[in-house]
Amino acid sequence: MLYRHISGATVRYSSKLVRSGPLLWIIFLTSISIGVSGQTVQDSSSYLTLGNCIAYAMKHQPVLHQAYLKMDIAKASNAINVAGWYPQVAVSGGITHYLKLPTSFVNNASTGNVPVAQTTGVINSSAEGLAVTQALFSPTLLTAVKSAPLFTRQARQVTDSTKIGLVVNVTKAFYNLLLTLEQIEVLKGDTIRLGQSTRDAYHQYIGGIVDETDYKQAFISLNNSTAQLRLAVENVRPQYATLKQLMGYPPRENFHIVFDTTELMQNINIDTTAQLQFEKRIEYQLLSTSMDLQRQVTRSYQLEALPVVSAFYNYNADFYNKSFSKLYNTAYTNSFLGVSLTIPVFTGFARLQNIKKSRLMEQVLESQTTDLKSQIYTEYTTALAGYKGYRYSLQLMQDNLQMAQRVYFVVNLQYKQGIVPYLNVITAESNLITAETGYLNALLQLLSSKVDLQKAMGNISY
């Protein structure tokens, strides 16, 4: 016994079938091929268009979720950095119990001003205090306030970059899967035609019209088409897995992609005369934000020469008593307020070196900006050339498909009438399958190249 597994289903057939006759074997191969292609659409629980796939990814993709979390982290970090502008309030307190009071020496007139040792203080004491500090001017806090919007913008741009990459990757994975599914349909039709041609050739051989090489050649072509069909079917599962991963879709749940051929044809058009604008690329925007942040760093080092000014207020309450139970009966309070000023005079030239280092980093970013523009332009010209080439190729493949269909129809009819040998049918069939596959490849490559061109121009919507 021999076994074959088709999309989770097990098909068993006996080697006796092979020996029972070529015609039965031809019929069996054709039925198996049709069954294989049918298995790709029977275990689906939902149907998703490209737009549905992208929308699902925007809600469930873990990487995008992480980007949103990083936006919240950036906002929290900004709040932490500017918190120093608010009043800083601290409360302190403590209790002291002397096991032995401290000793001090006091001049005593009665002893001729000879210092006399005596204990001072109270056995139990407590000190509580309230300290309030308010920053009036601080270069560090001023820099934090000006940098906060830049950090927020940077986090948002990183999220936008993730979204753009997600749209591009999901779209391409969708088109790759769609290409495979369409190839299955093409190979399915090819297998059906070859099955019919093989049966016709076999009957003509039995009738003595042709020799056995005709139906054997037909049988070889049928086997090849069946093998290609099976390979295409097996490729569907990993391609679905790839699309699920990009979407954040549960791996063990199934869905089936759907599409509108008319809509696909309408979506192939794009304005190729539009001018490239570097500012629309998210990579350029991110680098521009990095440049703004670096300039802010330079400015912060320059401001370090300015003084730090803050106001303060302190309130203290002291308690003393020999008896611990009466410690807090009487409070001895004091309070004061003032302004502090701290001026950096000399820091070992660290500030000047930091300024120099930061300006060098600005030059590095400027150089990266120049290089990025060159990369963007190269990517744009490559994508534009690819789009135009595939657009032209699609027109030619469409013409080839129409001609190949007509040629196969005529040649197959001539063969049935005994006008041409079966080799002509094989050639026509091969040309037809090549034209069909070429048309599908050109169409899906054109759609993918359009996505590349939109990305290169910064026109990806999400």
C-beta separation of 210 from 422 below 8 A: yes
Question: CA-to-CA distance for 25 and 18, rounded, in angstroms?
Answer: 6
Give the contacts of 225 (CB within 8 A, at least 6 positions apart): 33, 187, 190, 191, 194, 433
pTM for the model: 0.80
Instruction: Inform me whether the pLDDT recorded for 150 exceeds 50.
Output: yes
Instruction: Inform me whether the pLDDT recorded for 33 exceeds 60.
Output: no
Instruction: Inform me whether the pLDDT recorded for 155 exceeds 90.
Output: yes
Instruction: Inform me whether the pLDDT recorded for 43 exceeds 90.
Output: no
CA distances from 184 to 43, 215, 227 (A): 17, 24, 11
Could you report the per-residue pLDDT of 209-259, keeping only the tens digit for each?
667 777 677 788 888 888 888 998 999 999 999 999 999 999 989 999 998
**CB-facing half-sphere around the CA of 331: CA atoms within 13 A:** 9
Mean local confidence (pLDDT), 122-138: 95
| pLDDT at residue 112, as a whole number | 64
pLDDT band at 374 (very low <50, low <70, confident <90, very high): very high
Give the DSSP H/E element, type plus range, for residue 93.
Answer: strand 88-97
| Mean pLDDT over each residue of the chain, to the nearest integer | 85
Query: What letter represents residue 346's amino acid?
Result: F
Radius of gyration of the chain (CA): 41
Give the contacts of 97 (CB within 8 A, at least 6 positions apart): 123, 124, 324
Instruction: Inform me whether the pLDDT recorded for 41 exceeds 60.
Output: no
| pLDDT at residue 210, as a whole number | 66
Q: How many CB atoms lie within 10 A of CB 5?
A: 9
Q: What are phi and psi of 359, to 5 degrees?
A: -70, -35
| pLDDT at residue 87, as a whole number | 95
| pLDDT at residue 353, as a whole number | 94
Q: How many CB atoms lie within 10 A of CB 290?
A: 18
Which 8-state DSSP code applies to residue 112?
T
Could you report the per-residue pLDDT of 445-458, keeping only the tens digit for each?
999 999 999 999 99
C-beta separation of 332 from 298 below 8 A: no
What proportion of the chain, given as a percentage, has pLDDT over 70? 89
pLDDT band at 110 (very low <50, low <70, confident <90, very high): low
Q: What is the third-level CATH fold of 22-86+138-306+345-457?
A: Outer membrane efflux proteins (OEP) (1.20.1600)
Mean local confidence (pLDDT), 118-145: 93
Mean local confidence (pLDDT), 36-65: 77
Unique residue bearing structure tokens 């070196």: 353
Mean local confidence (pLDDT), 169-184: 92
Could you report the per-residue pLDDT of 380-422, keeping only the tens digit for each?
999 999 999 999 999 999 999 999 999 989 988 887 787 888 7
| pLDDT at residue 39, as a whole number | 44
Instruction: Tell how strand 47-48 and strand 256-257 pair up.
Output: parallel
278, two tokens: 């570097």
Q: What is the DSSP string of 341-362?
A: EE-----TTHHHHHHHHHHHHH
What proportion of the chain, given as a percentage, has pLDDT over 90? 60
